[in-house]
């Protein structure tokens, strides 16, 4: 896959994965490319929420390295889970990104919290609810 020039990535109207532009422009070009790959991989889960890794590789136009980089981003955001099976790794989409919330800590540093919508509602004991 041919990567986009930095100017094209920075000028993109909407950064991928609901990343705010303020955060997007601070990412390295390698990380931006991985995030773009991750966004493309999310689209592959429209029909099936669980796909064998080999099917992901076959359905995407990304090379192996870019696919794995995108999966690392999705895994790091806890949007997918990867399970080892006898037939190879299975990738399951567990949540989709909705927004990033800007938080300024007591130390004055800006941090970003990802808000993601789980595809299946988690089971929570009533005693854990407030």
Taking only the tens place, the pLDDT of each residue in 35-75 is: 999 999 999 999 899 999 999 999 999 999 999 999 999 99
Is residue 51 in some structural domain? yes
Supply 76's token pair.
């790091």
Is residue 122 in some structural domain? no
Is residue 14 in some structural domain? yes
Domain count, the chain: 1
Return the H-helix or E-strand segment holding 33: helix 29-43
* Euclidean distance between CA atoms 114 and 45, whole angstroms: 20
Task: Please answer whether residues 79 and 118 qualify as being in contact, where contact means their C-beta atoms are separated by less than 8 angstroms.
Answer: no
* Euclidean distance between CA atoms 129 and 33, whole angstroms: 39
Residue 1 above 50 pLDDT? no
The pTM of this model reads 0.83
Is residue 39 in some structural domain? yes
Is residue 110 in some structural domain? no
Is residue 114 in some structural domain? no
Is residue 44 in some structural domain? yes
Residue 2 above 50 pLDDT? no
Is residue 65 in some structural domain? yes
Domain of 79: which CATH number?
A: 1.10.10.10
Please give the residue range of the domain that contains residue 63.
Answer: 6-94
Taking only the tens place, the pLDDT of each residue in 82-118 is: 999 999 999 999 999 999 999 999 999 999 999 999 9
Task: Compute the Cα dihedral for 102, 35, 56, 46 and give only its sign.
Answer: positive
């Amino acid at each position: 896959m041919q990567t986009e020039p930095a100017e094209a990535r920075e000028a993109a109207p909407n950064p991928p994965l609901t990343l705010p532009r303020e955060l997007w422009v601070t990412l390295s070009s390698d990380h931006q490319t991985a995030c773009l790959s991750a966004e493309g991989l999310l689209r592959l889960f429209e029909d099936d929420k669980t796909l064998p890794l080999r099917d992901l590789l076959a359905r995407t136009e990304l090379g192996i390295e870019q696919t794995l980089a995108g999966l690392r981003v999705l895994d790091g955001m806890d949007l997918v889970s990867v399970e080892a099976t006898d037939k190879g790794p299975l990738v399951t989409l567990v949540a989709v990104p909705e927004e990033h919330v800007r938080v300024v800590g007591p130390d004055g540093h800006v941090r970003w919290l990802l808000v993601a919508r789980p595809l299946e509602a988690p089971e929570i004991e009533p005693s854990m609810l407030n």
